[in-house]
Structure 1
Amino acid sequence: MYTVTRNLSILKIFKQGIGTHGNWIFFESTSIFVDRIKFSISRVISKQTVASSTIYRENSNKYVNKREAEELPVYQFSGDHRQRKHRVYVWGNSVTGSLGVPTFVKPKPNVPIRKKQTAPYLLFFEEKITDVACGYGFSLFSSNGPTSSKLWGTGINTDSQLGYHEKQVNRGKNLEYLLAPAEIHLPLKRPRSTRVIQVACGRAHSLVLTDQEGVFSLGNNAYGQCGRKVVENEDYSSNMMIHKISGIEDKVAKIVCGQDHSLFLTEGGQVLSCGWGADGQTGQGDYESSSKMSLVGGDLKGERIVDIATYADCCLAVSDKGDVFGWGNSEYNQLNLVTDETQIAEPRLLPFKNVGKVVSIATGGTICALLNDAGDVYVWGYGILGKGPKLSESIHLEHIPPILFGRKILKEHVKVTQIHCGMHHFAALTNTGEMYTWGQNAHGSLGLGFHQDQYFPLKVGVPAEVIDVACGVDHTIALAKTFI
């Protein structure tokens, strides 16, 4: 390793040893043999004849004026072993604190509150965030690293859905709003070795999936959505309860939250549920709420389920065969193919035709989407579906043209790999790391730089490769990697 210094004395050259470039002298911190020292001294003597206003360019045997050299461009090349950095971008409604940027809500004097952030905003995290979820005005972030810090939350915390964070004033009272991500301490038996795999958010409750210690729940449990017995008149505002859910024999592979219910997908392909069931969203054949973890039946019996989705009160599932099943709320004809009623109490096979093999599904408040293995996106339901302002309702699948996601003649390899729904907006990710959004946009939740509704998919200007996204009621969070 060489270090650069100026006006180094001959004595230091003898002691530390080295070569020069003009009046710049390079020296080593290690010892050097006598012949190397002699060689270095000879180079000093020969090059000190060069005027101090010039620099000797050794590779071309030319002298270059210093001022000219200073004007030469400097290039930063990434090394062969350089690792791409992980990034978290947030946008949408900021007044609840769900974006985790305190200066939006409490700015400097004479600076107005930023009620909405319409374009992606970089949220700094020291840890590598591996999963994120958007609730109703709050957000969860998780890391699966080896440190004891695993989980953070920001935003509305009126029901302790982000854990207990005591006020500095009025001790014993929980903070109702967190303006920046605060660490949530899980009651883990092995805090360093256990990894958090996934997080999920409902209206006022949260779920956390770990690799070794099962699923934890926190927040409002008025309908049993946290998977524990309902306690009459329980105060959720300053609740320290973080519950480890029991009653699931198989290992859980995925968790999702509706408004006030929870769904669990096991590695064996079964679906379990708990919580509010007034619209049949628990899929247990009745319209009762239940805190007991129960198997979802109906047409799911004998099927191996690979994906589940819910956000409000409508639920979808897809099997390894590519079949789609639905249950719960159908007030906006989300499940009109199999019923004229406004609710279905247990899963029914949705007879979609000519869509290929379905690999993923998504549903919001009144909107639904599916993705097949060819990367084609289909939508149905009620709202802004993505095919223009004239299409606001459909009980049948509507295919969104692939060209709207960047698939062109010269880019035939481009296809959608992920599809997501917030309450009233969609997000799609492609295999090229690009993100497209469409839907309602009053709070800027589409990240397009404006707050008008968007009727077709439009690319979001995220300055990185997007690898995952979470959509909420009025905000969105993306996980990304830098390009280099």
Structure 2
Amino acid sequence: MSRPARLRFLLENNLVAKTLDCGYGFTVLVLRGVQGKNKLYGCGINTDSQLGFHRSSKKADTVLDYVTEPVLIPLPLETPEVTEVVDVSCGRAHTVVLTDKEGVFSLGHNAYGQCGRTIVDGEIFKGSQIINKVMDLPNDIVKVVCGQDHTFFLTSSGQVYSCGLGADGQTGLQHYHSEWRPSLVRGDINGEKIVQISSKADCVLAVSERGDLFGWGNSEYGQLSMITEETQVSVPRNIPLHNPVTQVAAAGSKCAVLTDKNEVLVWGFGALGVGPSVKSASAPQAIPPTLFGQNELAPDKLVKDIACGINHFAARTNDYEMFVWGKNQKGCLGIYVAQRMDQTYPFRVSVPAEVLRVFCGVDHTVALCRSFS
């Protein structure tokens, strides 16, 4: 599907989306019902039980590998009448959930320890009913972030814990092997208050409260070429930029940041958004604000948020419009591109609502919107 479509399930069931995240072919949503409680729902690919255990309504002995509309994902809560889901993040085939009173839960693929539990050799994830409560974490986790096969946990004081695959150094734990037990990430972020982390694949960007930028993980496409000539970095390193950063977006082979001047900077390899002549950049390139709609008639139009999938980016402006660029895999950009070629500069998506937040997977994009009416 190329054009944006409304998720009618929410309307038909009087549910309101509070937040969500997109994995590799699946989406998990935190929805509030008429009773005023946040619950977890999911749809899409479920071959590794990343959406939990679900049977076919027509064949009771058939475990669903694909879920075509959101289904409730029940968590093993001790006090379900008072505990609510507050955040969710999705990786390649695992999901991590944060609650307000009972900590963090995980489900799905755990071959590298990305679910924060012991790795079991030969474990079968299809049809699994395991929903794990992640132990060995501080009590003040405020955000969870899944990379491809790794996971980060952010505390209220800005500390970062990680687990999962570390083959490219993406866990930031100063080694290149898998680690199932959540461990404190140090390096140049030690003592810093980290406020956001982004890692859709195996490169990681983080930003501190002061606006300092940090990176680690894979640098095969020059994502970290400003701080190293190596293709892997196993510990967080400070990336010097002229202006403070407010948001980061680390895609598969390219990166983007939003500065405190509302400037979007991009680098790496692929469709970076600065036109067809620039396919790689080892240093940040600024996307002209005119490409996001700023002109004489709209001089105050600014980019407020950025997001990324593996191969594409999205931006939201201060007037709630959405712009996209990158690879239009499976029509994930929501625009018509001839033969679904790369979109080499930001293009506005026609959305019949005000876009509040944007979430990107590998080949799909979901926008959280507010109706005009």
TM category, shorter: over 0.9
1:291 pairs with 2:175: no
| 1:237 match: secondary structure | coil
- State the partner residue of 1:122: 6
The residue type equivalent to 1:379 in the other structure is: V
% of aligned pairs identical?
Answer: 49
Q: Is the 8 A contact 1:366 1:383 kept in 2?
A: yes
Per mean C-alpha deviation after superposition, the further-off stretch among 146-155 and 387-396 is 146-155
Q: 2:47 aligns with which of 158, 179, 193?
A: 158
Q: What does the per-residue CA deviation read over 1:262-314, in whole Å, with 9 as the maximum and x for residues that have no partner?
A: 01111110111000001001100000101011001110111111111101000
1:256–1:481: structure 2 CA closer, same or farther, 3 Å change rule?
A: same
The residue type equivalent to 1:222 in the other structure is: A
Shift in Å, 1:174: 2.2
Shift in Å, 1:404: 1.1
Q: 1:368 aligns with which of 239, 250, 255?
A: 255
- State the partner residue of 2:266: 379
Q: 1:136 aligns with which of 14, 18, 24?
A: 24
Query: Unmatched 5+ residue regions in structure 1?
Result: 1-116
- State the partner residue of 1:240: 129
| 1:404 match: secondary structure | helix
Distance 1:187 1:366 in 2: 37
The residue type equivalent to 2:138 in the other structure is: E
Q: Is the 8 A contact 1:164 1:174 kept in 2?
A: yes
Within 5 Å, give how 1:245-260 maps onto structure 2: 245-260=134-149
Q: Is the 8 A contact 2:38 2:85 kept in 1?
A: no
- State the partner residue of 1:191: 80
Q: Is the 8 A contact 1:143 1:195 kept in 2?
A: no
Within 5 Å, give how 1:369-448 maps onto structure 2: 369-448=256-335
Q: What does the per-residue CA deviation read over 1:458-481, in whole Å, with 9 as the maximum and x for residues that have no partner?
A: 110000000011111111011100
The residue type equivalent to 2:23 in the other structure is: G
Taking only aligned residues, the RMSD between alpha carbons, in angstroms, comes to: 1.4
Tell me the TM-score normalized by structure 2.
0.95
Q: What does the per-residue CA deviation read over 1:56-85, in whole Å, with 9 as the maximum and x for residues that have no partner?
A: xxxxxxxxxxxxxxxxxxxxxxxxxxxxxx
Shift in Å, 1:171: 4.3
Distance 1:395 1:408 in 2: 29
Distance 1:287 1:120 in 2: 40
Q: What does the per-residue CA deviation read over 1:16-61, in whole Å, with 9 as the maximum and x for residues that have no partner?
A: xxxxxxxxxxxxxxxxxxxxxxxxxxxxxxxxxxxxxxxxxxxxxx
Tell me the TM-score normalized by structure 1.
0.73
Distance 1:472 1:449 in 2: 19
Q: Is the 8 A contact 1:163 1:184 kept in 2?
A: yes
Distance 1:442 1:240 in 2: 32
Shift in Å, 1:432: 0.5
Shift in Å, 1:321: 1.3
- Count of aligned positions: 366
- State the partner residue of 2:345: 456
Query: Unmatched 5+ residue regions in structure 2?
Result: none
1:267–1:208: structure 2 CA closer, same or farther, 3 Å change rule?
A: same
Distance 1:473 1:419 in 2: 16
1:419–1:365: structure 2 CA closer, same or farther, 3 Å change rule?
A: same
